[in-house]
Amino acid sequence: MRVFITGASSGVGAEFARHYSGIGATLGLVARRQEALDRLAGSLPVPSSTHCVDVADYASMQEAARTFIERFGVPDIVIANAGISVGTLGEEAGDIPVLERVLRTNVIGLAATLQPFVEPMRQRRSGTLVGIASVAGFRGLPGSGAYSSSKAAAINWLESLRVELRDTGVAVCTICPGFIDTPMTQVNPYRMPFILPVGEAVRRMAQVIEKKQACTVVPWQMGVVGYVLRRLPTSLYDML
């Protein structure tokens, strides 16, 4: 098995690397911090390549994909996991560049990660493309306009890709996690319901990937929350 993972230097991405190394997968690890990538790769008992790349730099992502394929072959699984979360307010002019940065990483970066592998997988007629979105993409959350909108865009882009690749043998999985205990969430000053340890979250997401499920919320309790949020009348949602 060959697995290509972005955002691999810490948190969910690093845990995905540890999970798949545990079943003997060859890994491609992408992140912006070379030292962290090297430490991770050195700790894993499987062949791996590291790529110090900003996922929003699509030319560099094309090169990383090409390098991995030339060395190891077309991956069986590609996980577009890299993402950033920054609080923003629509009234703040200074938050417009922040919005741009979040959208570039969470949307352009996701597309730039998956696109280079579409045609090689299509030609082989197998493979799984995975995008890590979020329950935050179901409705616009106050103070999180950049993050919510980026994840909503990611969900819809992945859905478009899934339909485009129907009957090609290539699966597209959208995973919408709730709260996971990682450095990204540890700074949150509020209560996080149904939060999962990162190891357990990745174990559940790996099961989703193995089953090639089209769109799944992890954990299921947050799926119920998401279902309710999506169906609340706008006036009631605004009041709440």
Q: Which residues are catalytic?
A: 147
What is the spatial distance between Cα 150 and Cα 103, in angstroms, rounded to a whole number? 5
What is the spatial distance between Cα 113 and Cα 177, in angstroms, rounded to a whole number? 19
Cα angle 114, 116, 121; round to 5 = 85
What is the spatial distance between Cα 192 and Cα 195, in angstroms, rounded to a whole number? 6
CA-closest candidate to residue 132, choices 185, 81, 205, 197: 81
CA-closest candidate to residue 166, choices 118, 106, 114, 107: 118
